[in-house]
Amino acid sequence: MKDNTLLEINNLHVGFRIRDEYYDAVDGVSVELKRNEILAIVGESGCGKSTLATTIMGLHNPNNTKITGEINYKSQNLIGLPESEYNKVRGNDIGMIFQDPLASLNPLMTIGAQIDEALVYHTELSSTERKQRVLELLDQVGIPSPIRTFNQYPHELSGGMRQRVGIAMALSCKPPIIIADEPTTALDVTIQAQILDLLNDIQEETGSGIILITHDLGVVAETADRVAVMYAGEFVEIAPVDELFMNPKHPYTRSLLKSNPQVGNEGKELHVIEGTVPPITNMKRKGCRFASRISWIPETDHESVPTLHEVGDNHFVRCTCYQTFTFQEGK
């Protein structure tokens, strides 16, 4: 691994058992996370973004999941680690902010006790030192009354406050890698902005690498350094954030950007991407997976075995269809 690389994923496949067959939800993904970087992973629901996150965290049941490839951290492949070894990494080296803070918090435990759990497991701090650390964390994430919140239960807090608690839990052991899975979903615009500012502050203060999973391109433009666009279990485009927004290449990336509301386009119809993301049991495994949603592009413009091509400095695009892609007239 390179000196500035925190996490390196190589040819990762994550298959779920449905009846007696395994179907890949993440299919041959390779990417790296660098120090002091916010890497955004974007795409529609069902593209495999959250599956990738939970795989990095080692949260899948091995009885119904088949995982191959490499997730390298500190020159060690995390795939296949015994649970006792993975527990040493999870929380201490890699922290995760979950999409639904109410579902990820234990309703029967106080906020203070839940944040304290990782400190008990990963540190040798005394109970007094741990409580002080928890109060510091609650203050750091912008909770106005840390002492009061310490003794409250999740149902007593608003959605924004619960999300801040989730961030505090992820930060408790100062992990060098943070995974944020849709951290602003279901929050109002004001709270979204506060949460994003908080993530930026944390990244600048700790120098951690953050994997930000989202479908919100506005969030990406505001926070990310680099973007990986995911479709049907594969990365179809990877580029620095400014390059991706100024010079998008893949038809899927261009379609996502065109579907996003734009200043100055008031009164105009939003672009709608034809079709939907296929279920993993019915996913095309050969050829360009986006071809069915741009049916007006000739089959000959697609690669039979699409690969990532470097089309610029650190800018990669899958398949050759980007070279001739145009939007349908009037759409």
The stretch 163-174 carries a mean pLDDT of 91
Residue 127 tokens, joined: 């109970």
Per-residue confidence band for 15, with pLDDT thresholds at 50, 70 and 90: very high
CATH of the domain spanning 5-93+175-323? 3.40.50.300
Instruction: In the chain, count H helices and then E strands.
Output: 11, 12
Nearest to 114 by CA among 141, 83, 150, 89: 150
Map out the domains of the chain as residue ranges.
Answer: 5-93+175-323, 104-174
Whether 69 shows a pLDDT value over 80: the answer reads yes
Is pLDDT at 331 greater than 60 in this prediction? no
pTM: 0.93
Output the furthest CA–CA distance in the chain (Å, rounded): 68
Evaluate if residue 264 carries a pLDDT over 70: no
Is the pLDDT at 329 greater than 80? The verdict is: no
**Helix ranges, 215-328 (H):** 217-223, 241-246, 251-259
